[in-house]
Chains A and B, each alone.
Chain A
């Protein structure tokens, strides 16, 4: 019994003799675990269908699927005698796109939509985050306002668009305000939630180091809320495009949402489709920008955990 203990001590004793080396050996079990995890996978892979696909095959598969979809879109509706004012073909869309670019000031409309979407997203994010932090810092304000916030959160924000138009007229303001409103809440809620769930021990640690309230806020709470803020921004980025589109649909004479109603009035289905495609692209770019920012801000979180 005692010899067992001694030998254990000897082993660990020699480890302890070279501290830096120990540290490295410390780290290695993690790597070993990680590689063990990878090594385990081939067991599942014994089933051929579960084999991890290569990047190239994924890319080719995706492109192939898209191509088949576009081809089907191009040829199936005409084959079934569906008229092009119901479902225009892909080439119709391309022609209409060229016409819109040449004749309908498409660039102006795109620019207007992008400007309002980005401005609304930025302002909504800023206000939502600021409100989230304020409510997160004051339990009193949060408790007093929470029923109203919940109510506003549930109310369909886009339904306010006609109101804003009645108040502010046919200009960019109603669209901007609707966009701000739809972006505001998910970010507010995410930031507030993260503020309420910051590790109490971290706060106590900062308090023990005699940090005052604002130091705790800037050094602990704000950085700790970043993952939640980023998740909120992702949601906000997709909602921003919806907000601006609804604003433009309801009232206005610029933007892609306007082109949708305009195309509808002319029974120009291709125009409607083109506008939708462009709106989607704007949304994807905005989302991509947020994802890029997130990767930068949250670089300290190992990728597998994100």
Chain B
């Protein structure tokens, strides 16, 4: 095992899919390289169809790259990996399970006792401030609470890295702000290494330490922007800061969004 400073390394990763016609290949991402260091919060932004979610599937081990390497703590990813937690726009809570049992779900493939599992689930619910809803069913919770429950489930497996794929995009604007803050606090207080995939430029600016900008398909990383702002644990403070606007403007320019609108 190689000693490494990064939690996650992507080294010249290319992923091609066979097009629906079965012959031609479609390159989703091409020679993508980046790393995520311990405790860092990295955001990936890019136009739709740029392969953001492909990156997530590759890192989660649900899919294999055609070229290049992906390493978690220096170990190559060859399949689903218990040290990766991921969250999607959909909360993916099992409607037939109570919230506490949903949080336990990720631990059920592991050799730990029922009591330990329950204790961990309750601890995560505490951390995500949902302890009062442990015995509720998902349908009894609001969208924002359901996403927090999903975060609790993700954190319960004590992942080395958390992958967030547009986790706030299905929420209304205010719930989104509250939830961004809630997530940021939880993530910062436990120094959780996080990779956020989003199309929301402001979200990338207010939540992350570093932003990777991807091009249109085939997705490549065209720019890397360190976010030099205070208050990573409080997106609401960042959103009010004038400099956040500058970052967003920079991203707009980087993605050539003005040209496209014209």
Chains A and B form a bound pair: yes
Report whether A202 and B92 are in contact in the complex, using a CB–CB cutoff of 8 Å: yes
Flag whether A302 is at the interface (Cβ < 8 A).
Answer: yes
Q: Which of B61-80 contact A (CB under 8 A)?
A: 61-62, 80
In the complex where A16-B181, A23-B145 touch, is A211 in contact with B129 (Cβ < 8 A)?
A: no
Interface string of B105-124 (1 = CB under 8 A from A): 11011000000000000000
Q: Which of B183-216 contact A (CB under 8 A)?
A: none
Report whether B130 and A209 are in contact in the complex, using a CB–CB cutoff of 8 Å: no
- Which of B80, B109, B142 is close to A30, meaning CB atoms less than 8 Å apart? B142
Interface string of A263-302 (1 = CB under 8 A from B): 0000000000000000000000000000000000000111
Cβ contacts under 8 Å, A82 to chain B: none
In the complex where A2-B242, A208-B80, A210-B82 touch, is A223 in contact with B94 (Cβ < 8 A)?
A: yes
Q: How far is the CB of B85 from chain A (nearest CB, A)?
A: 8
Flag whether A22 is at the interface (Cβ < 8 A).
Answer: yes
Flag whether B18 is at the interface (Cβ < 8 A).
Answer: no
Flag whether A91 is at the interface (Cβ < 8 A).
Answer: no
Flag whether A219 is at the interface (Cβ < 8 A).
Answer: yes
Cβ contacts under 8 Å, B106 to chain A: 209
The total of interchain contacts (Cβ-Cβ below 8 angstroms) comes to: 98
In the complex, how many residues of chain A place their beta carbon closer than 8 angstroms to a beta carbon of chain B? 35
Cβ contacts under 8 Å, A2 to chain B: 240, 242
Report whether B240 and A5 are in contact in the complex, using a CB–CB cutoff of 8 Å: yes
Cβ contacts under 8 Å, A219 to chain B: 94, 105, 108
Report whether B182 and A300 are in contact in the complex, using a CB–CB cutoff of 8 Å: no
Interface string of A204-233 (1 = CB under 8 A from B): 110111111001000110010010000000
Flag whether B170 is at the interface (Cβ < 8 A).
Answer: no
Tell me, in angstroms, the Cα distance from A212 to B80 when the chains sit together.
11
Closest to A302 in B: B139
Q: How far is the CB of A207 from chain B (nearest CB, A)?
A: 5
In the complex, how many residues of chain B place their beta carbon closer than 8 angstroms to a beta carbon of chain A? 45
Cβ contacts under 8 Å, B175 to chain A: 26
Cβ contacts under 8 Å, B144 to chain A: 23, 26
Report whether A301 and B139 are in contact in the complex, using a CB–CB cutoff of 8 Å: yes
Report whether A23 and B105 are in contact in the complex, using a CB–CB cutoff of 8 Å: no
Flag whether B174 is at the interface (Cβ < 8 A).
Answer: yes
In the complex where A6-B240, A215-B109, A301-B95 touch, is A208 in contact with B182 (Cβ < 8 A)?
A: no
- Which of B84, B92, B145, B236 is close to A27, meaning CB atoms less than 8 Å apart? B145
Flag whether A201 is at the interface (Cβ < 8 A).
Answer: yes
Cβ contacts under 8 Å, B182 to chain A: 16, 19
Closest to B61 in A: A208
Cβ contacts under 8 Å, B12 to chain A: none
Report whether B80 and A210 are in contact in the complex, using a CB–CB cutoff of 8 Å: yes
Among B61, B84, B95, B242, chain A packs the most CB atoms within 10 A around the CB of B95
Report whether A201 and B80 are in contact in the complex, using a CB–CB cutoff of 8 Å: no
Closest to B57 in A: A204
Closest to B236 in A: A9
Report whether A27 and B142 are in contact in the complex, using a CB–CB cutoff of 8 Å: yes
- Which of A13, A19, A205, A300 is close to B92, meaning CB atoms less than 8 Å apart? A205
Q: How far is the CB of A26 from chain B (nearest CB, A)?
A: 4
Report whether B105 and A209 are in contact in the complex, using a CB–CB cutoff of 8 Å: yes
Report whether A16 and B80 are in contact in the complex, using a CB–CB cutoff of 8 Å: no
Report whether B142 and A29 are in contact in the complex, using a CB–CB cutoff of 8 Å: yes
Cβ contacts under 8 Å, A26 to chain B: 142-145, 175, 178
Flag whether A149 is at the interface (Cβ < 8 A).
Answer: no
- Which of A22, A23, A215 is close to B108, meaning CB atoms less than 8 Å apart? A215
Cβ contacts under 8 Å, B181 to chain A: 12, 16
Flag whether A20 is at the interface (Cβ < 8 A).
Answer: yes
Q: How far is the CB of A209 from chain B (nearest CB, A)?
A: 5
A sample of 27 cross-chain residue pairs with beta-carbon separation below 8 angstroms, ordered by A number, consists of A2-B242, A9-B177, A9-B237, A12-B174, A12-B177, A12-B178, A15-B178, A16-B181, A19-B182, A23-B132, A23-B145, A26-B142, A26-B143, A27-B140, A27-B145, A199-B92, A202-B94, A204-B62, A207-B62, A207-B80, A208-B60, A208-B80, A208-B84, A210-B80, A219-B105, A226-B96, A300-B137
| Interface positions of A (Cβ within 8 A of B) | 2, 5-6, 9, 12-13, 15-16, 19-20, 22-23, 26-27, 29-30, 199, 201-202, 204-205, 207-212, 215, 219-220, 223, 226, 300-302
| Interface positions of B (Cβ within 8 A of A) | 57, 60-62, 80-82, 84, 86, 88, 90, 92, 94-97, 105-106, 108-109, 129-130, 132-133, 137-145, 157, 174-175, 177-178, 181-182, 236-237, 239-240, 242
